[in-house]
Amino acid sequence: MARITAQEARIKTDSVISAEDKYILNAIDNCIKKACDEGQYHIWYNEKLSDIVLTDLKNHGFDIEDLSSNDEGNCFKINW
């Protein structure tokens, strides 16, 4: 399997990700930056995450816990 650079991977990923998924990833990125500034090691995200977003986060080393339920809706804990 040929290795690609991080920049090449980002370009390839960006061509597949929808505008909505990019918006969600950007929102999560901002939440993570804020949490890091506050010395935290996780965030809670209470919106639906597509498989593409979940895969992208996991590929970047984040641990995702899906705590969603039918009664209370979507709930994800994103750890690093």
Above pLDDT 70, what percent of the chain?
A: 95
Find out whether 52 and 17 touch, Cβ atoms under 8 Å. Answer: yes
Residue 18: inside a domain: yes
Residue 62: inside a domain: yes
DSSP assignment of 40-67 equals: -SEEEE-S---HHHHHHHHHTT-EEEE-
For the record, the structure tokens of 17 come out as 């990700």
Specify the DSSP class assigned to residue 47: S
Residue 68: inside a domain: yes
Q: Tell me the Cα Rg of the chain.
A: 14
Residue 17: inside a domain: yes
pLDDT bracket for residue 16 (50, 70, 90): confident
Residue 1: inside a domain: no
Residue 75: inside a domain: yes
What is the count of structural domains for the chain? 1
Structural domain boundaries, residue 46: 6-79
Find out whether 28 and 45 touch, Cβ atoms under 8 Å. Answer: yes
What rounded mean pLDDT belongs to the chain?
90
Residue 74: inside a domain: yes
- Entry pTM: 0.76
